[in-house]
Amino acid sequence: MLKAVIFDFDGVLFNSAKYYLKTRELFFKKYNIKFTKKEQKENLATTTKDFLKYVNKKYNLSIKLSDYISEKHDIFYSFLKEIKPNPGIINLLKTLKKNNIKIVISSSNEKENILFLLNKFNLLDYFDLILTSEDIKRHKPYKDAFYNPLTFLKLSSNECVGIEDSLQGIVSIHRAGLKSVGVLSEFTTVSDFKKLKASLIVKSTKEITLNKLKSLIKL
């Protein structure tokens, strides 16, 4: 029986993933760095701290995390008018809540950003548990992002489904023993998700229904 759905935040609940990538591009433009699509794809689910560590090492920089966070925050918030819940998400949350299914966020994003957007759209009360970059020691593709919620909620992996738009996230879901839903983006293909054996692949979040999620538990 389906008892919980664990959502990634950026790219799944909200259309914010592409704006975080734009924020990275704008910040590092002054260092004459232009990230390839491969770099963006590989770092889609990477935390701010780990991404900066990666860039500093690869491009021989010494940018302080505090400076990066401060300026990144200002750049990202300039996109606020464009950021909104993904298609079908609000209806899906309502349906899950109505059916007494636990709703969880597990994200590499910072808590401040997540709570800001949830409050802006009056969605905070839908969630039974919210885990962010501050709460998880080992991030995707490690299993912790999708395994830790099971511990908090005292559920088993065969009672939960994880939803992700990144390849690292799908790996994390499977390592935690859950069935997975892969949401396609400009950085992923059906072939990518098939190689990782995603349980369900959708072009848009509006395709995700309670019945489809329940059917995954029966597989």
pLDDT digits (tens, 9 = 90+) for 179-207: 999 999 988 999 999 999 999 999 999 99
- Hey, what are 95's tokens? 């349906």
Q: What is the pTM of this model?
A: 0.91
pLDDT at residue 193, as a whole number: 97
pLDDT at residue 219, as a whole number: 66
Give, in order, the Cα–Cα distances in Å from 106 to each of 30, 45, 110.
Answer: 32, 11, 11
Question: Quick one: which of 201, 178, 200 has its CA closest to 188?
Answer: 201
In the predicted model, what is the mean pLDDT of residues 29-35?
94
In the predicted model, what is the mean pLDDT of residues 141-156?
96
Q: How far apart are CA 152 and CA 149, in angstroms?
A: 5
% of the chain with per-residue pLDDT over 70 = 100
Give 162's contacts (C-beta < 8 A, 6+ positions apart). 5, 6, 7, 8, 106, 146, 169, 172, 173, 176, 178, 179, 180, 181
Q: Which has more confidence, 183 or 18?
A: 183
In the predicted model, what is the mean pLDDT of residues 85-92?
98
Is residue 107 over pLDDT 70?
A: yes
